[in-house]
Amino acid sequence: MPAEIISGNETTAKLEQRFAAAAANPARSLWLVLIGHGTFDGREAKFSAEGPDFDAKQLAGWIKPLKQEVAIIHTASTSGGFLKGLSGKNRVVITSTKSPDEVFYARFGEYFAEAIGGLPEADQDQDKQVSLLEAFRYASKATATFYENDGRLATEHALLEDNGDGIGTRSEVFTADAPAPAGMAVDGARAAQLVLVLSAEEQQLTDAQRSTRDALERELKTLKDQRSKLKEDDYYTKLESLLRKLGEVYAKKS
């Protein structure tokens, strides 16, 4: 779906109409980036639009009919109040704040915008592209550094949620390379696969090939997390099968 900037006095109405059109024509994953300011009256967090302001419940209602994957990057203050209401299956939600109580101007979005376009410093795995997870981690660290250098108490703490449990994760958690506790779903797996600007190598794959590859990589991660529960022969048999399937995907590059 092509990029579109929605603004003006009827921003809210135009946004609702845009989602309705997207629901009627499912395509590749849809990204929504909210840039601006938020408010919180002690009950509901709202995004300040040039038309009527809207809250998480309204936005969730517009998105509900969509069948495609949706990534929502809410860069405004109080954005943490939107996270739980927007989370769900096939959703990646990133907010600049951890709660609606963080009402001051949020700088996270500035650093995120720099990173997601392919900033080399944000490319942690050196694959010549920047994923949503990498941009989130880079922007979170840059935001924290800003407050530290300015000698100020941080008034924003970004969250990422992509497993559908409605509980966001701070960037510090992703610095620890350890398996998740048994029975606990962790965030970051899908965000690590979504990229705005594809590398030259990634562009050689079709959408279908990337989808298959991503699903296999998620299976591979799940298998590795379950290694302690499996017999050694079973583990390596399943590992070999998945690696062979991944090899077949790359062997069919267009």
Query: What's the structural domain count of the chain?
Result: 1
Q: Is residue 213 part of a domain?
A: no
Q: Is residue 235 part of a domain?
A: no
Is the separation of the CB atoms in 158 and 75 below 8 Å?
no
Determine how β-strand 159-161 pairs with β-strand 91-95. Answer: antiparallel
Query: Which band of pLDDT confidence, cut at 50, 70 and 90, is reported for residue 184?
Result: low
Q: Is residue 57 part of a domain?
A: yes
Determine how β-strand 38-40 pairs with β-strand 45-47. Answer: antiparallel
Q: Is residue 254 part of a domain?
A: no
Average pLDDT, the chain: 89
> What are the b/e assignments for 141-169, b being 16+ CB within 10 Å?
bbbbebeeeeeeeebbbbbbbbbeeeebb
pLDDT, tens only, 152-165: 999 999 999 999 99
The CATH number of the domain holding residue 115 is 3.40.50.1460
pLDDT, tens only, 219-243: 898 888 888 889 999 999 999 999 9
Q: Is residue 114 part of a domain?
A: yes
Query: Which band of pLDDT confidence, cut at 50, 70 and 90, is reported for residue 1?
Result: very low
Stated pTM of the model? 0.88
Determine how β-strand 30-34 pairs with β-strand 38-40. Answer: unpaired
Q: Is residue 30 part of a domain?
A: yes
Is the separation of the CB atoms in 161 and 147 below 8 Å?
no
Closest listed residue to residue 2, CA positions, set 21, 13, 16: 21
Q: Is residue 206 part of a domain?
A: no
Range of the domain at 96: 11-177
Of residues 44 and 181, more confidently modeled: 44
Q: Is residue 55 part of a domain?
A: yes
